[in-house]
Amino acid sequence: MIKLGIILDKLYFDHDNGMGHPESQERLFAIVDMLKATGLLEELIRIQPRDAEKDEITLVHEPKYFDLIQSTRGKIRVFLDPDTSTCPVSFQAAVRAVGGMLAAIDGVLKGEVDIAFPLVRPPGHHAERDRAMGFCLFNNVAVGAAYAVKTYGIKRILIVDWDLHHGNGTQNMFYDSSKILYFSTHQYPYYPGTGSINEIGIEKGLGHTVNVPLHPGMGDKDYIKIFFEILKPVIEQYKPELILVSAGFDTYFADPLGGMKITPQGFAQMTRFLKEMTQIHCDGKLILILEGGYNLEGLWESTKAVIEELLEKNKTNYGDLNAETKADPMIEKVKRAQSDFWRF
């Protein structure tokens, strides 16, 4: 039996972006409704989140930026950019969201659970070292990676970001590091405008940023072929000790903010792939963290498919991995861009 830990907290629901904002509490309500309706909630292990400390968050964020977010505490509404604002409890929610990621890392690396999936708000992968962006306050996955390096001495962490949008913040925080390899599939050109094929890292981080920018309309076959053709050889050579996933569900075929065509089966395929990679290369140590996803039915169906795959209730078929796809030209371009660093 796979021990799958989830993290939920009332503060994740209390964080409020305001009337009509796509990143709303309803996103988590949809997932919790799915967990209860399917009975999956009873098969999961609840991990209690904690509040991340300032010195943990400032492993990747500037101390002055932490103080800025803290200064919003108790204020009715503070706009940090046109899309990103805080309510009176947003700072506490953001600290608890990072703490959810840290509790997940502790749970997996101490062997209390095999896999963890913090279902947190606010999301994180757009948050820069000193700037809030794209609904994100603190960069949950980046703090988690830095914490795993510092606390557990891990030397190689892979972050896979399958969100529709490029995780500019995560990329930039580790752009010169070989301890974190950042791999992203994303709609391009699109918000936030970063993630071109030629963004490959600098200094010690050369080759440790792998971007796969995609035109709208890509579906299940495209994504899983990208994973097998590009990500699999990189994993086999990099040999990560831990895999973290920025799990955004806005590539769902009916998401209001995107133009991709991923079905719940496609999310299950990507999950199966990453689960198999962790079993081969890092003793099964896998942590997913919730990022985007703004179609409530899509969140319901897609998180169900992911969790059932993680629990081994299903084993989704990959289909014909040699079939021609719309992604083939981009796959070849990425291979050329990364050819100095990886063998394909």
The string of pLDDT tens digits covering residues 108-133 is: 999 999 999 999 999 999 999 999 99
Residue 126 designated active-site: yes
CATH number of residue 257's parent domain:
3.40.800.20
Confidence of residue 209 (pLDDT cuts 50, 70, 90): very high
Sign of CA dihedral 199, 145, 160, 129: negative
Report the C-alpha gap between 286 and 295 in whole angstroms: 25
Report the C-alpha gap between 141 and 123 in whole angstroms: 9
Give pLDDT tens digits for 9-47. 999 999 999 999 999 999 999 999 999 999 999 999 999
The verdict on residue 247 lying in a domain is yes
Confidence of residue 316 (pLDDT cuts 50, 70, 90): very high
The verdict on residue 271 lying in a domain is yes
DSSP string across 183-202: EEEEESS-TT----TT----
pLDDT of residue 337: 98
pLDDT of residue 40: 98
The verdict on residue 342 lying in a domain is no
Report the C-alpha gap between 248 and 24 in whole angstroms: 14
The verdict on residue 38 lying in a domain is yes
pLDDT of residue 284: 97
The verdict on residue 293 lying in a domain is yes
pLDDT of residue 84: 98
Confidence of residue 184 (pLDDT cuts 50, 70, 90): very high
Query: Which among 126, 165, 166, 281 is annotated as catalytic?
Result: 126
pLDDT of residue 340: 98
Tell me the C-alpha to C-alpha distance, in Å, between residue 172 and each of 194, 207, 212, 304. 10, 14, 16, 31
Q: Is 57 within 8 Å of 92 (Cβ atoms)? A: no
Report the C-alpha gap between 336 and 215 in whole angstroms: 18
User: 């932490």: which residue's tokens?
Assistant: 66
The verdict on residue 344 lying in a domain is no
The verdict on residue 259 lying in a domain is yes
The verdict on residue 27 lying in a domain is yes
pLDDT of residue 37: 98
Q: Provide the 10 A C-beta neighbour count for residue 188.
A: 21
pLDDT of residue 228: 98
Confidence of residue 269 (pLDDT cuts 50, 70, 90): very high
Number of domains within the chain = 1
| Domain range enclosing 240 | 4-337
Mean pLDDT of 137-150: 99
Q: How far apart are the first and last CA of the chain?
A: 35
Confidence of residue 56 (pLDDT cuts 50, 70, 90): very high
Mean pLDDT of 54-61: 98
